[in-house]
Amino acid sequence: MTICVRSVTKTYSRGRQSITALQNVSFEIAEGELVLLVGPSGSGKTTLLNLIAALDRPDRGEISVGGLNVTGLSRSAAAAYRNERVGMIFQSYNLLPQLTALENILLPLVPAGRPNRRRAMELLEAVGLGDRAAHRPSELSGGEQQRVAIARALVNDPALILADEPIGNLDDKNARKIIALLWDACRRRGKTMLLVAHDREMIGPADRVFEIRTGSLMCTKQKPASLVSQVELNATRGMSRVR
């Protein structure tokens, strides 16, 4: 599923102060591509994911995902789009406290009325929590909640995965397991993936690395190194078209 972001600007008001989270950001991501989004805190990474997931609307610009203009969707259409096409891994997990781990994973299947417990259980085991299915989020550690959130994002088999620091709270062993899971989803199942990370621990498997600084997008690429200069050149024009 391709993502096309064109001249997107997003500003927040905080009291009398106006904060520009994204400034004239443009890029394209091809289907099946794994893109890493890096940058310091408050640089606009989460805002960009929210806009692509139609959780928010840009002040200017247009975002299309798989040919669908997500900036013009109604609330109901946006909900349907998220449910059918997007798997979102939130930085703060956003698990519902009254549901067990298994039920939290099943939740995206509920709107369509087809909760598949077997599929949810498989994912729970894939993230190493097969024995914690009946536990509520309050009974899980931060890392375990993170893994439940990852399994929830994958349960609908979405074409697009948006992950906001998916391994930020994981130890090395579990981080590698989750990286492998996401890598497998992207490479073997052809999913498009946009991952936010503070550092560059996932830079290895990424096809491209976008860096955001104070709302502006810089595009870098480590492999192959020869493309880096071209990417940076395009980024300064506000558009990256590197393949």
CA-nearest of 134, 146, 143, 140 to 103 is: 134
Does residue 88 belong to the site contacting other proteins (CB under 8 A)?
yes
**86 vs 202 by CB, closer to other proteins:** 86
Does residue 214 belong to the site contacting other proteins (CB under 8 A)?
no
Query: What contacts 209, CB < 8 A, 6 or more positions away?
Result: 35, 36, 37, 38, 200, 203, 219, 220, 221, 222
Residues 121-160 touching other proteins, rule: CB under 8 A, are: 152, 156
Write out the H or E segment, with its range, that includes residue 38. Answer: strand 34-38
Q: Under a CB-based contact definition with an 8 Å cutoff, are residues 37 and 217 in contact?
A: no
Minimal distance, residue 94 CB to other proteins, in Å: 5
Q: Which stretch binds other proteins (CB under 8 A): 98-106, 120-128, 182-190, 211-219?
A: 98-106
- The interaxial angle of helices 142-154 and 117-126, nearest 10 deg, is 130
**108 vs 175 by CB, closer to other proteins:** 108
Does residue 83 belong to the site contacting other proteins (CB under 8 A)?
yes
| Binding residues vs other proteins (CB under 8 A) | 47, 50, 53, 55-57, 75-76, 78-80, 82-84, 86, 88, 90, 92, 94, 96-99, 103, 106-108, 110-111, 115, 152, 156
